Amino acid sequence: MKRQEETAQQRAWRKYNEKHKEEIKNSKLQFNTTLPKEDANEINEFLKKYNLKKVDLIYTGYQRLKEIYETNKK
């Protein structure tokens, strides 16, 4: 099967990524984790229902846990 010809935008994106590979690598961190399938499906359905991204869940959960634990320290 023949690959489709690359568009100008795809070439530009590839060139950018090649040029900034280390910068991108050093500025990002990926959380690789696994959940039971039922829990993951429930979370994905919730996110889809409210048009949220997983990163929204992470940031909101982090902020809330931070509030809880920092309040309990006082």
What range does the domain containing 35 cover? 8-73
Q: How many domains does the chain have?
A: 1
Q: 32 lies in a domain?
A: yes
Burial of 31 (C-beta count, 10 Å sphere; 0-12/13-18/19+): exposed
Q: 68 lies in a domain?
A: yes
This prediction has a pTM of: 0.63
Q: 14 lies in a domain?
A: yes
Q: 36 lies in a domain?
A: yes
Place of tokens 């309040």: 71
pLDDT of 1-49, one tens digit each? 788 888 999 999 999 999 999 998 899 888 888 999 999 999 999 999 9
Mutual angle of helices 54-73 and 37-49, in 10-degree steps: 100
